[in-house]
A and B are shown apart, each in its own frame.
Chain A
Amino acid sequence: MNAPDRYERFVVPEGTKKVSYERDTKIINAASFTIEREDHTVGNILRMQLHRDPNVLFAGYKLPHPLQYKIIVRIHTTSQSSPMQAYNQAINDLDKELDHLKNAFETEMAKHSREY
């Protein structure tokens, strides 16, 4: 009856930004990124990748409500970095990791088809 449409879960509404950034008003080098129409898939890999960065003092994400299709990623860094820099770095590193994974998988597949 009043259920939201299924596509609401993954289609960003027109006029809405996919990612919005909000600085913390009290703490320097801290900010929240609101990512629309994403869930644990992206939230958790971003968080774990941010934890690998020694300049990141805090990184966490939350899914505020199961029917609000967005996640909030909060990052606090040292003065050597900035939340935006850490966020970009995490995405770049994950992207490169996936490129590597893809190549590794394809190499294995080629090896496997030759063996059998």
Chain B
Amino acid sequence: MDGGMSYQRFPKVKIREVKDDIMKFELRETDASLANALRRVMIAEVPTIAIDLVEIEVNSSVLNDEFIAHRLGLIPLTSERAMSMRFSRDCDACDGDGQCEFCSVEFHLRAKCLTDQTLDVTSKDLYSSDHTVVPVDFSDPNEPGEQRGIIIVKLRRGQELRLRAIARKGIGKDHAKWSPAATVTFMYEPMIRINEDLMESMSLEDKRSWIESSPTKVFEMDPITQQLKWHLKLEVQVVGSRLTGEEGREDASYWLSLFRDVPMLPVKVVAEPESYTYDDEVIKKAEAMGKSGLVEIEAKEDSFIFTVESTGAIKATQLVLNAIEVLKQKLDAVRLSDDTVEADDQFGELGAHMRGG
């Protein structure tokens, strides 16, 4: 049965930037289906922990019980443990009511406002039964003492909120509160080719207006030229101001004309190819200027630039690794079971028999 050729690919990865909750990387030598599968898994199928059941004891706040329960669900909780935790629906140790340590974490919240000062009830007022699963801390390490909890509700004098909440493991497909991803995007890497001969045939003004036609800053003047331009400007200002009145030459074009023979290099270089949004504006502009073919832009089919931003529930790097793991598990689950193969083998023999083989 087996022993066929392998058509496997060997993708390459290059990390550009990593912070706790954001990362950028390049993925090459694979195709869009895999890049998109990774993106989809990161958003909807990497598990995290979020509050799912809320039992309200006292609520005399301005928000109703359901409103508060919904807000609690959306608070990101640190979920490094989620991959190894059980879903409460497959938990044998309990009947899924959130009483067991394998599939749930309990939280308590007690707040009462006793002064005339409005009391902010935040995620910092949630007390967890498990120190590894706590509301994500957004405080800036450079600014200690600054309160950065997520506000749940505000209380005025005499109002009180007391509740018990149970957090469970889940995935974004079930409810977005379980999604560990704030944003996950990928773009095709653009391949930009400039026709140098056509470019040389353009005047400085034309080049400048062509550069300006791009809504995002994809092209800019060569840094050497920019320096020249800057010197030129200074020169004109200094010299010009001295000569004003004497010769009345204030217009820049006259002063620019003096530099006509200076060997400048006003060739455009690509400044930020990735800021190109595939809007075709520069191509249309080139055509309108009668310079079609000035630039060719194509999307490389096998290179992707990913931006991964996490909610803080897990680190961005861990999110990518977990997505790979989840995708592997999914593929494993769709393997043919032995009984299917057996049944088909019998069918095959029967079929062969029926065909007279």
Take A10-B173, A108-B14 as given contacts and tell me if A41 and B324 are in contact as well, using a CB distance cutoff of 8 Å.
no
0/1 interface trace, chain A 1-43, chain B, CB 8 Å (1 if under)? 0000011011100000111110100000000010100101110
Partner of B4, one of A33, A47, A81, A109: A81
Flag if B320 contacts A9 (CB, 8 Å): no
Nearest residue in A to B341 (C-beta to C-beta)? A84
Complex: chain B residue closest to A9, CB-CB: B173
A-contact bits for B320-357, CB 8 A (1 contact / 0 none): 11001101101111111100110010010000000000
Binds A, one of B36-44, B115-123, B243-251, B267-275: B36-44
From B11, B45, B171, B327, contact of A104 by CB (8 A): B11
Contact of A101 among B6, B13, B341 (CB under 8 A): B13
Question: Which one, A52, A88, A108, contacts B7 given CB within 8 A?
Answer: A52
Q: A6-B175, A45-B34, A105-B320 are in contact. Are A53 and B7 (CB under 8 A)?
A: yes
Given contact pairs A10-B171, A109-B15, A112-B18, A49 touches B7 in the complex (Cβ within 8 A) = yes
Give, as a whole number of angstroms, the nearest-CB distance from A6 to chain B.
5
Which chain A residues lie closer than 8 Å to B1 at the CB level? 84-85, 88
Q: How large is the interface on B (under 10, 10 to 19, 20 to 34, 35 or more residues)?
A: 35 or more
Please state if A101 and B324 are interface contacts (CB–CB under 8 Å): yes
Taking CB atoms and an 8 Å cut-off, the chain B residues in 3-42 that contact chain A are: 4-15, 18, 25, 30-31, 33-34, 36-37, 40-41
- Contact A91-B174, Cβ < 8 Å, known A19-B336, A42-B37, A45-B33: no
Q: Of A7, A19, A97, which contacts B174 at CB under 8 A?
A: A7
Chain A residues lying within 8 Å of B10, measured Cβ to Cβ, are 97, 100
Which residue on chain A has the smallest CB distance to residue B328?
A98
- Which of A38, A93, A101 has the largest count of B CB atoms less than 10 A from its CB? A101
Quote the shortest CB–CB distance from B86 to chain A (angstroms): 14
Q: List B contacts of A105 (CB < 8 A).
A: 13, 25, 320-321, 324
B317 within 8 A of partner (CB) = yes
Which B residue's beta carbon lies closest to that of A53? Answer: B7
Taking A42-B330, A89-B5, A101-B11 as given, write out 14 further A-B residue pairs in contact, using a Cβ cutoff of 8 Å, ordered by the A residue number: A6-B174, A9-B173, A19-B334, A41-B36, A42-B37, A42-B331, A48-B33, A86-B4, A89-B6, A91-B335, A100-B8, A100-B10, A108-B13, A109-B317
Instruction: Using CB atoms and an 8 Å cutoff, list the residues of chain B in contact with chain A.
Output: 1-2, 4-15, 18, 25, 30-31, 33-34, 36-37, 40-41, 45, 89, 171, 173-175, 317, 320-321, 324-325, 327-328, 330-337, 340-341, 344, 347
